[in-house]
Amino acid sequence: MSVLWRRAVAAVGVGGVAGLLALGAAAGAAPASAAPRAAAGGEEGQGSFRIKDPRITESSGLAASRTHKGVYWTHNDSDDGPYIYAVDSSTGRTVATVTLKGVNPRDLEAVSTGPGGEVYVGDIGDNLNGGWNEVWIYRFHEPRTLRDTTVTPTRYTVRYADGPRDAESLMVHPKTGRVYIASKNQNKKGGIYAGPEQMSPSGVNTFRRIARTEVWATDGAFSPDGTRLVLRGYFGGEMFRWRDGKPEALDTPVSVPVAGQGESVTFTADGRTLMCGSEGKGSTVDPLELEGELLPDSVPADERKADGGAKGGGGASGGDEGQIGEKKVVVGGAAIAAAVVVWTLLRRLFRRRS
């Protein structure tokens, strides 16, 4: 498979590429993988919820709380301030606002929960396409009581070993606590980066590339048991099996709901479902139930073997960087053409900013 073809698959999905080749295939055709329960276009369905806080207009990251059942942490993109919101999925209402004292964020893009009830926030966006030599990660302990509060977070300075990167995806492994960042796929520089085994609040924490990825990653998350890593883009996503600190691409496609500007993803507490969010006032968070090998190892083996089996993909192996194999991304029928056009325009826009 050529690099150009692989890039097209990663950007719009195997279903999207097939649709483009068909040029006029029926818009209602079934996608190549299990569709999300929520209807495309952001319509609320079973398990989905709508963010009702009028302050949250650019929800850019999403993380399931480890302490409070059914609560999700989110935040706005740039130009909002040092605020992290806890949203109750049963009502869509904000039940706590955490203010990060002493923080003047430049471009908040991601939030992730780690072991011990720690919440990590990634001030890692870079719309200048690698114009910032340093970015930052803030860490605070998840409050036991959900109420408005101000905390002084631990601040980590981050640099990439191979130079500045634009990134929107921050993932903390739930067992080891190691922090990872996925950069956007821009000019063949998209990749997964690993931080030090123990980050230090003093000095600089250097993140090193451990794998390449084709997807234009807008968010990522580990499963609660740490055996799966998902990265999502605007129109698709990819899933990896996580072994010995390395990602191995899976063969089974992953769909994401087509709802506005797709920006965020997290696993539910049981690891069986992805929750996918988007930007915009009153945006929805929509579920995607996982099947087969996409399910984490904590799910019984007989369930993981159903509907797609457990086919191992070609993944990252030894060395500083492994090459991810064919990408597993799918979008459905009517959104395909629009997705391609929008994706192309976005690439041009960001290139102009570089």
Given pLDDT bands bounded at 50, 70 and 90, which one contains residue 13?
Answer: very low
Given pLDDT bands bounded at 50, 70 and 90, which one contains residue 301?
Answer: confident
Strands 204-212 and 154-160: parallel
% of residues, the chain, pLDDT over 70 = 71
- What is the radius of gyration, based on Cα positions, of the chain? 19
Give dist(CA 211, CA 208) in Å, integer.
Answer: 9
| 338/123: higher pLDDT | 123
Q: What is the mean pLDDT of residues 87-100?
A: 97
The pLDDT tens digits for 245-259 are 999 989 887 888 776
Given pLDDT bands bounded at 50, 70 and 90, which one contains residue 304?
Answer: confident
74 CB burial (10 A radius; 0-12, 13-18, 19+): buried
Global pTM reads: 0.79
Hey, what amino acid is at 147? R
229 CB burial (10 A radius; 0-12, 13-18, 19+): buried
Mean pLDDT estimate for the chain: 78
Question: What is the edge-to-edge ordering of all strands in the sheet holding 273-278?
Answer: 49-50, 284-289, 273-278, 262-267
DSSP secondary structure of 10-77:
HHH-HHHHHHHHHTS--TTPPPSSPPPSSPTTT---TT-EE---TT-SSEEEEEE-SSSTTEEEEEE-
